[in-house]
Amino acid sequence: MKVIGLLGGMSWESSLEYYRILNETVKERLGGLHSAKCILYSVDFEEIENLQHEGKWDELTRIMVGSAQKLENAGANMVLICTNTMHKMANEVQNAIHIPLLHIADAAAEKVKEKNLKKVGLLGTKFTMEQDFYKGRIKEKYNIDVIIPDTDDRKVIHDVIYNELCLGQINEASRDKYKKIIESLIRNGAEGIILGCTEIPLLINQKDFKIPIFDTTQIHCLAAIDYALGNE
């Protein structure tokens, strides 16, 4: 079993889900007392969040590269960035280490392709929805069209992530708002929805909708287990 390197803490609420899913999946596949071999490097999210909203992406890249190198030096055989937004600097991180970085957007897009969908809606932080590092990658590599909510809805999604979900707060009113936003994306032609923030599955899941809902936390973890067990 290869050692999974987790670059987490963004937020620790979703990193907790990574740890749970990885270990539960290994136990399901191998049985007995088996669990995932993994190393976690967890950052201080207050520092990360401030730099994100100040637009200091060069400093964030330095932090992410250094953190990934720590995982490699500690013996990890791969790196998972346990957040969608910070894949903004995935290329820089990959170029600074000698082990593979398993990109969360690639893992999600592969699942979308399996269902032969051509157009999906994307929910995430404003950075993930509005910038091109995520949806552009999916379009260019997989020829899947990605649509995002309108300006007001993007603000709602972003604010709930940072002011509620990252603090472990689950509010029914916010769940209802997310559902309405997703329904709007469906009316605009979305055949599936990518939950492009690792906290959103704490609020929304497949049972809420008939169309496919792609939980990037779950998908990312399963891709890591496939690689760790040699099933990639």
Instruction: Report the catalytic residues.
Output: 83, 197
Rg (Cα) of the chain, in Å, rounded? 17
What's the CA gap between 25 and 36, in Å, rounded? Answer: 8
- Strands in the chain per DSSP E: 4-8, 38-42, 78-81, 119-123, 145-147, 192-195, 213-215
Name beta bridge partners: 119.
145
Q: ω into residue 11 within 30 of 0, thus cis? A: yes
Beta-carbon count within 10 A of 79 CB:
27
